[in-house]
């Protein structure tokens, strides 16, 4: 098992808006094996993105555990120290968010090479692999040396995907990875996800595109609105 | 608090094997009856960048001055693990020993570069002085290294003999960073390093700092009121309000899912560019 979510609770309390409480997840449990791709489904507001962000350690859980297999040991992402969460992200997890958080002045190729350099790959080899990754995603070569701030949504998304996939992490978290891509690039991303599961990666994803979902997912995990259940 | 809670998870490794570089325990500073900071505790590991955020007057700079040995706390201790592997309680040591640490193993980058530079001597001398303080003696080598570092912080090599008074604010700040990093410190303290700069110059400096921190595996404590700067540079954050830490954790978690009312207010008050 690569990911084991047990009894996960998530509620937002909005102190600046009179302490309104918004329940998002209640008693959610989910296991994902190596080589398996699970698609999260359910209406918008059912907490799909929140679940992915909780597994990544981006959101803080109010209860439950999020066990991730990291370098042969079990780490609870809901309780681990910040530096442990960062180590798990660096070595074990790739996350594709819906938006690219742009770093000023850093060219696309260096953004993609950075996660490899953080793993100790030497600078030239990392850039080489980053270029190959961007090429496979059909990002025009003239963009590689530019900072992505001015890229289109689809171009930024491909930089994001390249960042997450370039180091072939054992766990992949994908939040709408194909949302702003055309059919040809969608097909590229589908084949990259299938290659990832084939080499043993555990994948949790949100895929609104039904065809993409059918092509990559081994099973669906249907989420219900916690606020209705509560 | 969170750290203590993390230690007790059954069978879950939280990765606490190696010793921390800096440990603050109950650090408190009063100015007469006025509180500077209260009961601040944390551990910082090698290669980790800690951001301290909060509005002005929240005690950020007081805390930084206590941590870097320039202001004696009213209560609490700060311990540091030296390159030699010795753990020292920095306020129980003589002033001279503290100064030696500040000159060799630490770097201190001030908000106003004029406070951290010697304005009456050349850029090269500003960098070289720090090398000599750390034991460098060979003039040619010191000058060559100073030139290398000028270029690393994106200042033209031919400005080596110019005084910092002839530099722009952004160049002065980069020179101050070169002066501090040339001796490869293990721990750097920075107080609003981009605070006095234009936005375009800020971006350049941030990019430079990110690169240097990653490349040399520096540990750093950075005080800033700018949450975007914190997000870019810090691995984890402590949020201060009225002298106390009200929330701490992984940077993106604190900013994207703030728990404390004050943190939520801070995050929701930022203008979206």
What tokens appear for B161 in the block? 């003999």
Span A84-129, pLDDT tens digits: 999 999 999 999 998 877 777 889 999 999 999 989 999 999 999 9
Please say if the pLDDT value at position B271 is more than 80.
no
From the centroid of its chain, how far is CA A136?
19
3-state SS assignment for residue B38: strand
The dihedrals phi and psi of A206, each to the nearest 5 degrees, come to -115, 120
Q: Hey, which CATH number is domain B2-105+185-266, 3.40.109.10, 3.40.50.2300, 3.10.105.10, 3.40.50.300?
A: 3.40.50.300
- What's the pLDDT score for residue B5? 39
Do B261 and A79 count as a contact with CB atoms less than 8 A apart? Answer: no
Q: Do B6 and A81 touch (CB under 8 A)?
A: yes
Of A15, A59, A79, Cβ closest to residue B256: A59
Assigned domain for A19 exists = no
- pLDDT, position B204: 76
Q: What is the DSSP letter of A142?
A: G
Strand, helix or coil for residue B125: helix
Q: What is the pLDDT of residue B272?
A: 60
Rounded to a whole number, what is the distance in Å from the CA of B161 to chain A's nearest CA?
29
Is the per-residue pLDDT at A227 higher than 70? no
Residue A7 lies in a domain: no
Q: Is B250 strand, coil or helix? A: strand
Per-residue pLDDT at A79 exceeds 90: yes
Range B241-252 average pLDDT: 97
Determine, for residues A58 and B268 on separate chains, whether the beta-carbon distance falls below 8 Å.
no
In the prediction, which pLDDT does B133 show?
Answer: 83
pLDDT at B3 over 80: no
pLDDT for the residue numbered B261: 96
Q: Is A83's CB within 8 Å of B236's CB?
A: yes
Q: What is the pLDDT of residue B80?
A: 97
Within-domain flag for A66: no
- Which residues does A74 contact at the CB level (< 8 Å), separation at least 6? A67, A68, B11, B12, B13
ipTM of this predicted structure:
0.93
Q: What confidence tier does B14 reach under pLDDT thresholds 50, 70, 90?
A: very low
Closest chain A C-alpha to B148 CA, distance in angstroms? 20
Distance between CA atoms of residues B69 and B63, nearest Å: 10
Residue A156 placed within a domain: yes
- Residue B179's pLDDT band (boundaries 50, 70, 90)? very high
Q: Indicate if the pLDDT at residue A137 is higher than 80.
A: yes
Residues from chain A that touch B264, judged by Cβ atoms under 8 A, are: 14-16
User: What's residue B115's pLDDT?
Assistant: 93
> What integer best gives the mean pLDDT of chain A?
93
A183 at interface of B, judged by CB pairs closer than 8 A? no
pLDDT at site B162: 96
Q: What is the pLDDT of residues A151-206, one digit of tens each?
A: 999 999 999 999 999 999 999 999 999 988 999 999 999 999 999 999 999 999 99
> Is A228's pLDDT higher than 60?
no
Q: Has residue A217 got a pLDDT over 60? A: yes
Residue B80 C-alpha from the chain's centroid = 14
Percentages of chain A per state (helix, strand, coil), in multiples of 5 = 40, 25, 35
E strand residue ranges, chain B: 22-31, 34-44, 49-53, 75-81, 87-89, 106-109, 187-191, 219-223, 236-241, 244-250
Contacts A–B by Cβ distance under 8 A: 83
Interface test with A, best of B252, B260, B265, B273 (most A CBs within 10 A): B252
Rounded CA gap, B147 and A219, in Å?
60
Where do the structural domains in chain B lie, given as residue ranges?
2-105+185-266, 117-183
Boundaries of domain holding A164: 36-58+80-229
A-chain residue closest to B47, CA distance: A83
The answer to whether the CB atoms of B257 and A59 lie below 8 A apart is: yes
- Residue of A13, A78, A83, A84 to mutate when probing chain B, most B C-beta within 10 A: A83
Quote the crossing angle between the two packed helices B123-133 and B95-104, to the nearest 10°.
Answer: 120
Q: Which of residues 49-88 of A touch B (CB under 8 A)?
A: 53, 57-60, 67, 73-76, 79-87
Count the Cβ atoms, other than its own, within 10 Å of residue A200: 13
pLDDT band at B212 (very low <50, low <70, confident <90, very high): confident
Mutation target vs A (from B15, B235, B269; most A CBs, 10 A cutoff): B15
Q: In total, how many domains does chain A have? A: 1
Does residue A14 belong to any structural domain of this protein? Answer: no
Q: Is residue A48 part of a domain?
A: yes
Structure tokens at A108: 């696309």
Between CA A95 and CA A154 the distance in angstroms is 17
The reply to whether residue B14 touches residue A75, judged by beta carbons under 8 angstroms, is yes
Query: With pLDDT > 70 as the criterion, what percentage of chain B qualifies?
Result: 93
Nearest to B235 among A57, A82, A117 (CB): A82
Averaged pLDDT for residues B23-29:
97
Beta carbons of A58 and B236 less than 8 Å apart: no
Task: Give the model's pLDDT for residue B16.
Answer: 54
Write down the pLDDT at residue B211: 81
| pLDDT number for residue B17 | 66
Above 80 in pLDDT, residue B9?
no
List residues bridging with A9 in a β-sheet: A63
Residues paired with A5 in a beta bridge = A30, A66
Q: Which residues of B touch A (CB under 8 A)?
A: 2-3, 5-6, 9, 11-16, 45, 48, 203-204, 206-207, 210, 214, 232, 235-236, 249-253, 256-257, 259-261, 264-265, 268
Q: Which of B2, B8, B132 is nearest to A60 (CA)?
A: B2
Nearest CB to B206 within list A13, A57, A104 = A104
pLDDT at B13 > cutoff 50: no
Give the other-Cβ count within 10 Å of B218's Cβ: 20
Query: Which member of A58, A82, A104 has the closest CB to residue B256?
Result: A58
Average pLDDT, chain B: 88
Instruction: Write the CATH number for A144.
Output: 3.40.50.300
Residues 6+ apart with CB under 8 A from B122: B160, B161, B162, B163
Q: Give B-chain residues touching A84 at CB under 8 angstroms.
A: 14-15
Q: What is the pLDDT of residues A3-61, one digit of tens each?
A: 999 999 999 999 989 999 999 999 999 999 999 999 999 998 899 999 999 999 999 99
């Amino acid at each position: 098992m690569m990911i084991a979510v047990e009894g996960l609770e998530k509620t937002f309390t909005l102190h600046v808006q009179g302490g309104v409480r918004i329940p998002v997840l209640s008693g959610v449990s989910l296991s994902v094996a190596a080589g398996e791709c699970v698609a999260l489904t359910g209406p918008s507001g059912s907490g799909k993105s929140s679940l992915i962000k909780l597994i990544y350690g981006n959101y803080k859980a109010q209860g439950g555990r999020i066990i991730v297999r990291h370098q042969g040991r079990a780490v609870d992402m809901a309780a681990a120290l910040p530096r442990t969460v960062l180590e798990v992200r660096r070595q074990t997890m790739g996350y594709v968010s819906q938006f690219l958080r742009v770093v000023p002045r850093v060219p696309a190729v260096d953004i993609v090479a950075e996660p490899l350099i953080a793993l100790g790959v030497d600078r030239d080899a990392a850039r080489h692999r980053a270029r190959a990754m961007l090429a496979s995603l059909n990002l025009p070569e003239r963009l590689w040396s530019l900072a992505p701030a001015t890229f289109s949504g689809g171009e930024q998304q491909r930089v994001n995907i390249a960042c997450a996939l370039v180091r072939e992490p054992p766990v992949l978290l994908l939040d709408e990875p194909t949302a702003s891509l055309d059919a040809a690039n969608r097909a590229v991303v589908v084949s990259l996800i299938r290659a990832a599961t084939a080499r043993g990666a555990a994948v949790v994803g949100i895929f609104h595109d039904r065809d993409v979902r059918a092509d990559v997912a081994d099973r669906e995990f249907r989420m219900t609105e916690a606020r209705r259940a509560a | 608090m969170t750290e203590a809670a993390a230690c007790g998870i059954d069978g879950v490794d939280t990765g606490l094997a190696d010793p921390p570089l800096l440990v603050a325990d109950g650090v408190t500073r009063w100015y007469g009856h006025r509180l500077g900071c209260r009961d601040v505790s944390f551990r910082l590991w090698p290669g980790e960048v800690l951001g301290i955020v909060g509005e002005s007057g929240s005690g950020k700079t007081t805390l930084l001055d206590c941590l870097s040995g320039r202001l004696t706390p009213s209560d609490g201790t700060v311990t540091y693990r030296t390159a030699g592997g010795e753990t020292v309680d920095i306020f129980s040591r003589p002033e001279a020993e503290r100064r030696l640490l500040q000159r060799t193993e630490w770097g201190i980058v001030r908000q106003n570069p004029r406070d951290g530079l010697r304005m009456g001597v050349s850029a090269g001398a500003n960098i070289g002085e720090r090398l000599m303080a750390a034991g460098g003696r060979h003039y040619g080598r010191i000058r060559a290294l100073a030139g290398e570092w000028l270029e690393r912080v994106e200042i033209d090599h031919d400005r080596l003999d110019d005084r910092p008074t002839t530099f722009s604010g952004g160049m002065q700040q980069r020179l101050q960073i070169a002066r501090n990093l040339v001796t490869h410190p293990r721990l750097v303290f920075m107080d609003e390093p981009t605070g006095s700069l234009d936005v375009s110059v800020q971006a350049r400096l941030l990019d430079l700092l990110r690169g240097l921190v990653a490349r040399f595996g520096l540990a750093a404590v950075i005080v800033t009121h700018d949450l975007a700067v914190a997000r870019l540079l810090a691995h984890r954050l402590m949020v201060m309000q009225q002298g106390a830490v009200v929330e701490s954790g992984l940077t993106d978690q604190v900013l994207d899912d703030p728990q404390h009312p004050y943190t939520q207010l801070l995050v929701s008050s930022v203008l979206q560019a």
